[in-house]
A and B are shown apart, each in its own frame.
Chain A
Amino acid sequence: EAGVTQSPTHLIKTRGQQATLRCSPISGHTSVYWYQQALGLGLQFLLWYDEGEERNRGNFPPRFSGRQFPNYSSELNVNALELEDSALYLCASSSQGQRGTEAFFGQGTRLTVV
């Protein structure tokens, strides 16, 4: 069974540009979560999608947005990139929210803004 897959693995963008990150959850999982991990720091919750809808959002500006498609895959879009957006972006999936079950993580997309 395939795990959570993220693409691309690495992404280098210039300040002011837009970045699009993609995530495919484990088959059967309806919830997708996005986290930002800046170098040497913990994971900061970004967004939670379930059944195609945004369920919860972390403390990030509106230029961080995303969506979930009918097949439960998800995109994270970051507009007007800033240098501080450089981080590892992790996607996780779970069944029926993360309340009682473990989350399965992808390997992440390392975004570098120059």
Chain B
Amino acid sequence: SQQGEEDPQALSIQEGENATMNCSYKTSINNLQWYRQNSGRGLVHLILIRSNEREKHSGRLRVTLDTSKKSSSLLITASRAADTASYFCATVPGTASKLTFGTGTRLQVTL
């Protein structure tokens, strides 16, 4: 079963708008990571947030983590058509040492 579940499954917005994706997970984690996948190719790491961090920024990306709710959100500000991709959250649960991925959010940014 998936450790992480992203919401929504799909999101369509216009260029310039902000996109928010949420991720919920089930067990305690060491860290949570967000990845991006273009057109069924390899995944690209976007950002890692550790369990003792609450918020992290990287360029137009902002990630929050609420360990009490076992949830995280990824905000992409001022979206561009090039941001069109699938976004996955991944967690390293507890004592495990492998990334467990969610089902992903498909983001479509239109001109």
Chain A 35-53 interface mask (CB, 8 Å, partner B; 1/0): 1010101110100100000
The verdict on A63 contacting chain B, using a C-beta distance below 8 Å, is no
**Cα-based distance from A84 to B41 in the complex (angstroms):** 19
Nearest chain A CB to B43 CB, angstrom units: 4
| Residues in A neighbouring B92, C-beta threshold 8 A | 98-100
Contact A105 B44 (CB under 8 A): yes
A103 to B102 CA separation, bound complex (whole angstroms): 15
B59 contacts chain A at the CB level, 8 A cutoff: no
Nearest A residue to B50 via CB reads A100
Which residues of B are found within 8 Å of A98, using beta-carbon distances?
92, 97-99
- The answer to whether A106 has its CB under 8 Å from any CB of chain B is yes
**Total A residues in contact with B, Cβ cutoff 8 Å:** 28
The answer to whether A43 and B101 touch across the interface, beta carbons within 8 angstroms, is yes
**Contact (Cβ within 8 A) B33 A102:** yes
Q: Which residues of B contact A72 (CB under 8 A)?
A: none
* A42 contact from B40, B45, B97, B104, Cβ within 8 A: B104
B103 & A42 in contact (Cβ 8 Å cutoff): yes
Interface pair B97/A35, CB less than 8 Å apart: no
Q: Which of A39, A101, A108 contacts B41 (CB 8 A)?
A: A108
**Residue B11 interfacial (CB < 8 Å):** no
Against A, the Cβ 8 Å flags (1 = close, 0 = not) of B38-81 are: 00111111001010000000000000000000000000000000
Q: 11 A-B contacts, Cβ less than 8 Å apart? A: A42-B104, A43-B43, A45-B99, A45-B100, A98-B97, A100-B30, A100-B50, A102-B45, A103-B45, A105-B35, A105-B45
Q: Interface residues, chain A, CB within 8 Å of chain B?
A: 4, 33, 35, 37, 39, 41-43, 45, 48, 55-56, 88, 90, 92, 97-108, 110
